[in-house]
Amino acid sequence: MKVEYDSQEFDRTLQIEVHILTKLKQSKDVLNIIDCGKRKHYTYMVTTLCGKDLMALKLKIQRGFNDTTAMRVALFTLYGLKQLHEVGFVHRDVKPGNIMTAANRGHDSRFLILIDFGMARSFVITGDDGRKKLRPMRRKIPLRGTVRYCSMNVHERTEQGRSDDLIAMIYTIIFLTIGLPWAQIKNENEIMSMKKSTKDATLFEFQTIRFQLMTAINRLKINFLDPYEWEDEEIEKMAKVEQEEKEEKEKEKQREKEMEKKKEKEKENEKEKEKEEEKKVDKEKEYEMGKEKQKENDLKRGQMETAKSAKSTDGVFGEADEEKKLKVKTSDEQQKTSNVDICNKLHSAKDLASSHSDANENSQMGSVTKTGDRKHFFSKFFVTVTSSAVPGHVNDMETAIDYDQSEYRTKKALPSKLNNDSSACIHRVFSEEELQFVVYPAIAPNNFTEVIIPF
């Protein structure tokens, strides 16, 4: 969106820009105007959202453009000037800041367009007879343009023509590659003297300039489908982000493994504690059984002593009989006690055997649960690894352009869309040189062979 306040101190350029963009509506691959209007204190204009200008991209890579980038930038700029000249206007302010990418991402991010037509001027007028003709030149005019890139006609304050736009374009390309000798100078007189000392090439026509540029592009094997150098940095940034995400996922997996190992150790410790408690209970039972046996033996001894003291009043025979009876009783009781001890021992042996069998069963069950847990854990781990290693997953890299997976491996951009005119050629096999003209028809040869004269 562009807004201009109504003020007598400044020139009103927004109306001129709106007028030119409305005339360019019928042209292809230009800045489209969406809405415009005038309010009490200002006028406004809404256009399609563009990407970054060439000055910002040059500062981003912090060096001059290489030949592959500069040649393509020149051809796109030449195409934009051709469209503007065909509707009867001269731009008069061609510079890197007024050449932008058509979008930040996708197919249009590699297409360059001209912007800022506020300083443009019509070089065609309609005569009294209704026929169009060249506009008469003015003797003296104020400075229009940027001193660094403008032609000598601007320094001499004479009228600018279509050739002046081409000279500004050539200065722009030189600045973006090797730099201009007067780039750091701000005084106009010094810049003017340096421009006079340098020999400018003779003025070319559109077709001749395009032929020279395409000859250089073919010689250097440049393709318009290749990524620009500023896109390489964005690809590297996205690759770093993906690598960091993978490292974080691996750390999370390691944490999960450590947590599962801790849980297994805790389970083993709990089982060992249960076994120790069972052993303690068995020892306490054995100790209580021994106490009960001692009590029974003490009672028997007391009974024997009372029986001996009662026999003192009886006769010898009676004592003998009673002694025999006591011996028989004691022998019977001893047999009973021995039988009770044998039974108790048998019962304790059975309890120990059952406790050992239970412990073995618990250990077997624990080993089964361990193996089951391990199988479950390894199945989980295998699923997570395989799901993250699938190519084309949700975490695939998004570059500065819409790309295919093969495009990322080869760093060769594939066309994401074609014009309507190329729908009939889908089944045809294009060569790499022909394919760039199908994706970007603006640079095709037929767009430069036919020139519309607006007068």
pLDDT tens figures, 38-94: 898 889 999 999 999 999 999 988 888 888 898 899 999 999 999 999 999 999 999
Both 99 and 235 in one domain: the answer is no
385-439 per-position pLDDT tens digit: 333 333 434 344 443 344 444 444 444 444 444 444 444 444 566 777 788 888 8
Within this chain, do residues 216 and 275 fall inside the same structural domain, yes or no? no
Does pLDDT of 181 surpass 80? yes
Q: Give the residue numbers spanning the domain of 248.
A: 227-279+380-414
Give the residue carrying structure tokens 């199908």: 438
Q: Which residues contact 1 (CB under 8 A, 6 or more apart)?
A: 44, 45, 46, 47
d(CA 146, CA 180): 14
Q: For position 212, which CATH number holds?
A: 1.10.510.10
Q: Percentage of the chain with pLDDT > 70?
A: 70
Q: Are residues 261 and 394 in the same domain?
A: yes
Task: Establish if 433 belongs to a structural domain.
Answer: no
> What are 16's two structure tokens?
């001129």
pLDDT at 79: 93
| Greater pLDDT, 288 or 21 | 21
Q: Are 238 and 398 in contact (CB under 8 A)?
A: yes
| pLDDT for 211 | 75
d(CA 170, CA 260): 68
93 in active site: yes
Q: How many domains does the chain have?
A: 2
The reply to whether 272 and 203 lie within a common domain is no
Query: Is residue 393 in some structural domain?
Result: yes
Residue 118 Cα distances to 96, 100, 112, angstroms: 16, 16, 19
Determine contact, residues 143/107, Cβ cutoff 8 Å.
no
Asked if residue 293 is part of any domain, the answer here is: no
- The reply to whether 255 and 399 lie within a common domain is yes
- The reply to whether 13 falls in a domain is no
Do 72 and 138 fall within a single domain? yes
Give 358 or 221, the one with higher predicted confidence: 221
| pLDDT (mean) for 8-30 | 84
Q: Are residues 170 and 198 in the same domain?
A: yes
One domain, residues 161 and 263: no
**pLDDT winner (highest mean) among 213-222, 250-259, 323-332:** 250-259
Quick one: pLDDT at residue 121? 93
- Picking from 180, 112, 118, 119, the residue whose alpha carbon sits closest to that of residue 149 is 180
What pLDDT digit, counting tens, does each position of 203-236 carry? 345 666 777 788 888 888 888 888 777 777 667 7
162-189 burial, b at 16+ Cβ within 10 Å, e below that, comes to bebbbbbbbbbbbbbbeebebeeeeeee
Question: How buried is residue 273: exposed, middle or buried, by Cβ count under 10 Å (0-12/13-18/19+)?
Answer: exposed
Same domain, residue pair 75 and 195: yes
262 shares a domain with 183: no
Which tokens is 307 given? 């029986």
Report the candidate in 56, 46, 139 with the shortest Cα–Cα distance to residue 95: 56
Q: Which of 91, 92, 111, 95 is nearest to 55 (CA)?
A: 95
Q: Is 179 left (phi over 0), alpha (psi -120 to 50) or beta?
A: left
Residue 237 lies in a domain: yes
Backbone angles phi, psi at 352, to 5 degrees: -65, -40
Active-site residue, from 29, 35, 67, 93 = 93
Alpha-carbon gap, residue 329 to 324, rounded angstroms:
8
Is 191 part of a structural domain of the chain? yes
Q: Are residues 231 and 199 in the same domain?
A: no
Contacts of 376 (CB under 8 A, 6+ apart): none
Instruction: Return the bridge partners of 43, or none.
Output: 4, 38
Let me know whether 130 and 240 are in one domain: no
- The answer to whether position 324 is within a domain reads no
Q: What is the pLDDT of residue 403?
A: 40
DSSP string computed for 272-289: HHHHHHHHHHHHHHHHHH
Q: Quick: pLDDT tens for 292-316.
A: 888 888 888 777 777 777 665 555 4
Closest alpha carbon to 99 in 89, 87, 88, 111: 111
Q: DSSP string spanning 75-105? A: HHHHHHHHHHHHTTEE-----GGGEEES-SS
Helix and strand totals (H; E) in the chain:
12, 9
pLDDT in the model for residue 197: 78
DSSP letter (8 states) at residue 108: G
Q: Is residue 398 part of a domain?
A: yes
pLDDT tens for each residue of 260-286: 988 888 888 888 888 888 888 888 888
Q: pLDDT at position 312, please? A: 56
Residue partners of 435: CB distance under 8 A and separation at least 6: 225, 415
Residue 370 predicted with pLDDT over 50:
no
